Amino acid sequence: MNAPESAVLHTPARPMPHVLNTYGRLPLALSHGQGCWVWDTNGKKYLDGLGGIAVNTLGHNHPRLVPALQEQIAKLIHSSNYYEVPLQEQLAARLCELSGLAGAFFCSTGLEANEAALKIARKFGHDKGIHRPEIIVYEGAFHGRSIATLSATANPKVQAGFGPLVEGFVRVPLNDLAAVEEVARSNPNVVAVFLETIQGEGGIHPSRWEYLQGLRALCDRQGWLMMLDEVQCGIGRTGKWFAHQWAGIVPDVMPLAKGLGSGVPIGAVVAGPKAANIFQPGNHGTTFGGNPLAMRAGVETLRIMEEDGVMANAAAVGKRLSDGLKQALEGVPGVVEVRGAGLMIGIELDRPCGVILQRAADAGLMLSVTADRVIRLVPPLILSADEAAQIVAILAPLICTFLSEPVAAA
């Protein structure tokens, strides 16, 4: 008798044989969580320094978020955008109040939010009579994995095998205003500038505040849209509602996602007066975006954050975490830099460090490695000072041990 298909495909290296092989997963599965801690199916406990990749704003099993979502599930999970969804207006109004912008479109992911922003920019150009509009994007950027957002991204590894890429992008270095000014002088088709306020997947590289101020002024002079991708760095992660607010500016278009729903899939594009009326009925849409469950998650997340002082906690505990790491790693050969803002921290090493992912998990800490050499920490924004100290106590020795080992041959 032939073995069943599952027995043939199931191997130790591939424990989920019917799921497409798109992720390099660690060999563990999570069961449940509480606050900033999670447990796997074998009962092992981990301090969550990853927060679902900057998603679980309020941690796990929050005592006020969970009942609110249970109540909403019992009422209505999904309708459709054929009908009014009052919670959309409630969340949009709050986002506009917090950002100083004018309106919001809701979708389900950060990729979709960025895709919508790119469509807004292109239609903005066409409405001005520019038939081949172009958008300035950045070295080190990551905006998603659809064909358009992949084209705006600057990572050859994730682009490889998916050409031809979408045209219409002009790439410049981050924090180099002169490079953007040169494009302004030479390219009349540019209609927008699109960048992450803090590059996430590219290695936690912040835009300098004075650079954002100069870029805002340049966009105003040129009549361009300033579009700031805050999918990862927004929703309180840096200690303000949106990271660009540290620079005292207001963008024209701002994609959001990740932390806005505390784990419930949600995306949003928030637009200012120059961009809020570019989309008209039929120009853009979504099936799942703006459903009542996701909107309730967004409304409750923002409410709890405000009531509990979560942003102030992110700023204070983030500084303690960053300072603790800098102190513990000061003078360690191979540590390039500890950087970031609030609870969005990157530790750059002088060599690829992907093995840290498994070693940290073995030691009871969840984190990620991005851009090959940058250890990324984006924990829940409710992280305590004691938990931040525990992250330092676990992670700093792991880094020191790793850097003391012989460098593997290329």
302 shares its domain with 315? no
331 shares its domain with 365? yes
Sign of the C-alpha dihedral, residues 249, 300, 53, 231? Answer: negative
Q: Per the confidence metrics, is the pTM higher than 0.85?
A: yes
Q: Is residue 67 part of a domain?
A: no
Mean per-residue pLDDT, 291-315? 98
pLDDT band with cut points at 50, 70 and 90 for residue 5: very low
Given the residues 258, 274, 279, 288, the one annotated as active site: 258
127 belongs to the catalytic site? no
100 shares its domain with 214? yes
> Of 308, 334, 349, which residue is a domain's last?
308
> Of 288, 308, 328, which residue is a domain's last?
308
313 shares its domain with 289? no
Kindly report, residue by residue over 351-390, the tens digit of the pLDDT: 999 999 999 999 999 999 999 999 999 999 999 999 999 9
> Of 276, 308, 340, which residue is a domain's last?
308
In angstroms, rounded to a whole number, what is the distance separating the alpha carbons of residues 205 and 33?
30
pLDDT of residue 154: 94
170 is in which domain, residue-wise? Answer: 76-308
The domain that holds 320 is classified in CATH as 3.90.1150.10
Q: Is residue 157 part of a domain?
A: yes
* E strand or H helix at 196: strand 190-196
For β-strands 365-366 and 253-256, DSSP reports them as unpaired
* E strand or H helix at 250: none
159 shares its domain with 220? yes
Considering its fold, how many domains does the chain have in total? 2
247 shares its domain with 296? yes
Percent of the chain with pLDDT over 90: 95
Question: One-letter amino acid identity for 42?
Answer: N
82 shares its domain with 221? yes
Given the residues 105, 106, 124, 142, the one annotated as active site: 142
Residue with tokens 């409304």: 299
With vertex at residue 199, the alpha carbon angle to CA 232 and CA 24, rounded to the nearest 5 degrees, is: 70
In angstroms, rounded to a whole number, what is the distance separating the alpha carbons of residues 318 and 293?
30
In angstroms, rounded to a whole number, what is the distance separating the alpha carbons of residues 335 and 326?
10
178 shares its domain with 304? yes
In angstroms, rounded to a whole number, what is the distance separating the alpha carbons of residues 321 and 388?
5
Q: Do you find a cis peptide bond into 164, omega within 30 degrees of 0? A: yes
169 belongs to the catalytic site? no
Mean per-residue pLDDT, 204-217? 98
Q: Is residue 205 part of a domain?
A: yes
Given the residues 105, 169, 194, 229, the one annotated as active site: 229
pLDDT band with cut points at 50, 70 and 90 for residue 10: very low
229 belongs to the catalytic site? yes
332 shares its domain with 295? no
Q: Is residue 69 part of a domain?
A: no
For β-strands 134-138 and 169-172, DSSP reports them as parallel
11 pLDDT above the threshold of 60: no
